[in-house]
Amino acid sequence: MTSNKTLSQWVAQVARHTQADKVHWCDGSDAEYRDLVKGMLATGMLAELNRTTHPNCYLHRSDPQDVARVEHLTFICSRSRDDAGPNNHWMDPAAAHAKIDALFAGSMRGRTLYVIPYCMGPIDSPLARCGVEITDSPYVVANMKIMTRMGKAALQRIEKEGKFVKGLHSTGDLNPERRFIMHFPEELSIKSFGSGYGGNALLGKKCHALRIASWQARSEGWLAEHMLIVGIQNPQDEIRYVAAAFPSACGKTNLAMLIPPASHQGWKVWTVGDDICWMHLGEDGRLWAINPEAGYFGVVPGTNPKTNKNAFDMIRHDTIFTNVAVTADNQPWWEGLKDGTPVTDWKGEPYKPGNGKAAHPNSRFTVSAKQNPSYSPHAEDAHGVPISAIIFGGRRAEMTPLVYEARDWTHGVLIGAGAASETTAAATGQVGVVRRDPMAMKPFCGYNFADYWNHWLSFNKRSSKLPKIFHVNWFRQGPDGKFLWPGFGENLRVLRWILDRCDGKAQALSTPIGFLPADGAVDTHDLDVSAETMRTLLTVDREKWQAEIRAMQEYFQGYGPRMPAKLLAELQATQTALAK
Ligand code: SAT
Ligand code: MN
């Protein structure tokens, strides 16, 4: 099946240990995808949706106890606990292997073992990296076919390079008591058991492209980040690229597919990626980015022609829906859709308004990037796209301004490291509590955050042409709980200020937390936002910020002596400026 001995021996050993019935090597063809779908329709793992309105669309209902990432069951198993850091759950590698191997024993009895060779990034890109996922879930195979460059070409690259990340996955019996997502960065391997959902099971995504890749990136001198990548084209047809980090379910997909409002004729936004960004320093000193993924695993609720017309249009065909509701005529339905009425909820039960949401808040679509009307023609460029600005963000109802700019790279790293956000339904646990989520990487950094910030800081010595760094917050609320900023397409106004700042054009005021737009510098023409609201969105509340700085200091203390002194000094400087 392959000329790579390590791979063939590993597959044989796993097949023996899991006692799989059959072994299927995925070739990634469309015919293979169709066969998988046929098989899943027969077993009920998928249901076909309305063929007329949604051709080639299918619904998968996951186990109701398996609907999101499980951070408390996710481990980094490095030899040294300190290398994983206080930001990760850690387990000793030998103990972790023993624990999870026991669960894998016999777990594929009666099942087919699928071998999925995949490539993260354009297949011909020197920045791309390959992996192989072994799984017993045909649903995972179908999703990996959409989300990655999977099959023959990836296997050929693996055989040529001889190197790949090993990912072993079994859904087991889906019992949350027997569920673990384990990463062995020193062995470039992943073992995931007991979940069939999203980032727990599609191992190319968060497990490989973020946790393992961030570890690799550190030793090889690049960055693996939880960021969207977009190209912004102005009326002069110049395109500039920005990368933006937001926690899961904070609108990355919407921003990545933004449609300029009517007031912005001649502008256009191109999607390069909506979730993950790998950045390398180019010979020209700029950061060049690729999207390692080939598809989107996006949050469905809230998707409609107003919030994200591109996504709305692209999921009308050839899409896998997971955990949405359905209408009487078998169309997918979710909260935020104007038309249609749900009759069956995400669990497959008759929908009753008193029983909670019809679609699960973390219900997802899986769709190929090629179906996105705004897919950038440069998204497949082997060397990536050059990044002009990096944006950090989060969901903060209070305090954090709409946008501000870092004084320099080091200050920008502090802004990213100090970022916090309200939790969302993308992970199990309480929703809506503010937690520190540095660079939106809290659940995804495969090593000690203190070392990670040091790695970020090190770029300053390597180049004088790094992107400018910004922070945004689309989620400020007034006393009535209503959002102060309209968001969605109107966010282009903020992106314009950011790009103008990169060109040294837009006006800004220097404040203790960084540069904020001067009065009127964010264009609000044709926008129903009062000058007073803009002032609220763009002022620094010193008292609240002083408390925020203290919270950051406390948080950073948790990283002990590994904490970069430069960041602490930068934080101290901010605190002093706020006290003046
Ligand atoms: O489940 S995933 O990790 O793929 C989705 C997300 O959290 O962004
Ligand atoms: Mn994400």
- Cα(258) to centroid of ligand 1, in Å? 20
Q: Which of 39, 32, 37 is nearest to 58 (CA)?
A: 37
The closest-lying atom of ligand 1 relative to the alpha carbon of residue 249 is 8
- β strands within 355-507, DSSP E: 364-368, 385-393, 403-405, 420-422, 434-436, 468-472
What is the reported pLDDT for 375? 98
**CB 322 less than 6 A from any atom of ligand 1:** no
- Between CA 477 and CA 179 the distance in angstroms is 38
Residue nearest to atom 6 of ligand 1 (CA): 248
Tell me the three state secondary structure of residue 220: helix
Catalytic residue status for 445: no
Instruction: Sheet containing 47-48: give its strands across.
Output: 47-48, 58-60, 320-322, 364-368, 295-299
The first and second tokens of residue 119, run together, are 């490539």
pTM for the whole structure: 0.98
Number of the ligand closest to the Cα of 256: 2
Q: Which amino acid makes up residue 531?
A: A
Residue nearest to atom 2 of ligand 1 (CA): 199
The closest-lying atom of ligand 1 relative to the alpha carbon of residue 426 is 7
- Between CA 220 and CA 464 the distance in angstroms is 20
The first and second tokens of residue 302, run together, are 């809230």
**CB 208 less than 6 A from any atom of ligand 1:** no
Where is average pLDDT lowest: 246-250, 542-546, 572-576?
246-250
Q: Confirm if 273 and 400 have CB atoms less than 8 A apart.
A: no
Q: Which of 213, 249, 40, 49 is nearest to 143 (CA)?
A: 40
**Residues 6+ away with beta carbon under 8 Å from 524:** 493, 534
- Cα(366) to centroid of ligand 1, in Å? 11
- Cα(252) to centroid of ligand 1, in Å? 12
Pocket test for ligand 1, best of 74, 120, 205, 362 (most atoms within 8 A of CB): 205
- For the four alpha carbons of 448, 450, 451 and 455, in that order, the dihedral sign comes to positive
Question: Band of the pLDDT at 505, cuts 50, 70, 90?
Answer: very high
- Between CA 106 and CA 285 the distance in angstroms is 51
Question: Band of the pLDDT at 465, cuts 50, 70, 90?
Answer: very high
pLDDT, mean of residues 218-244: 98
Continuous H helices in 285-408: 305-314
pLDDT digits (tens, 9 = 90+) for 509-519: 999 999 999 99
Domains and CATH numbers, the chain: 5-60+70-221 (3.40.449.10), 225-294+378-579 (3.90.228.20), 299-365 (2.170.8.10)
**CB 426 less than 6 A from any atom of ligand 1:** yes
Q: Kindly report the number of other CB atoms within 10 A of residue 65's CB atom.
A: 12
**CB 493 less than 6 A from any atom of ligand 1:** no
Residue nearest to atom 8 of ligand 1 (CA): 248
Q: Kindly report the number of other CB atoms within 10 A of residue 546's CB atom.
A: 15
**Residues 6+ away with beta carbon under 8 Å from 222:** 127, 278, 279, 280, 281
Q: Confirm if 7 and 164 have CB atoms less than 8 A apart.
A: yes
Tell me the three state secondary structure of residue 74: strand
Pocket test for ligand 1, best of 60, 62, 66, 69 (most atoms within 8 A of CB): 69
What is the reported pLDDT for 141? 98
- Between CA 517 and CA 508 the distance in angstroms is 4
- Cα(13) to centroid of ligand 1, in Å? 30
Pocket test for ligand 1, best of 147, 248, 253 (most atoms within 8 A of CB): 248
Rounded mean pLDDT of the chain? 97
- Cα(264) to centroid of ligand 1, in Å? 32
Query: In sequence order, what DSSP letters do the residues of 225-247 get, joined into one string?
Result: ESEEEEEEE-TT--EEEEEEE--
pLDDT, mean of residues 110-124: 98
**CB 191 less than 6 A from any atom of ligand 1:** no
Percent over 70 (pLDDT), the chain: 100
What is the reported pLDDT for 553? 98
What single DSSP character describes residue 177? G
Question: Band of the pLDDT at 576, cuts 50, 70, 90?
Answer: very high
- Between CA 519 and CA 189 the distance in angstroms is 51
**CB 199 less than 6 A from any atom of ligand 1:** yes
- Cα(526) to centroid of ligand 1, in Å? 36
What is the reported pLDDT for 10? 98
What is the reported pLDDT for 297? 98
What is the reported pLDDT for 150? 98
Question: Band of the pLDDT at 541, cuts 50, 70, 90?
Answer: very high
Q: Confirm if 512 and 544 have CB atoms less than 8 A apart.
A: no
Angle between helices 449-462 and 409-417 (to 10 degrees): 160
The first and second tokens of residue 232, run together, are 């912004």
The first and second tokens of residue 223, run together, are 């960055």
pLDDT digits (tens, 9 = 90+) for 418-447: 999 999 999 999 999 999 999 999 999 999
**CB 319 less than 6 A from any atom of ligand 1:** no
Q: Confirm if 151 and 27 have CB atoms less than 8 A apart.
A: yes
Q: Confirm if 424 and 430 have CB atoms less than 8 A apart.
A: no
Calculated CA dihedral for residues 534, 536, 538, 542, nearest 10 degrees = 170
The first and second tokens of residue 571, run together, are 């934080």
Q: Which is catalytic among the residues 57, 250, 277, 445?
A: 250
Q: Specify burial of residue 262 (Cβ count, 10 A radius: 0-12, 13-18, 19+).
A: exposed
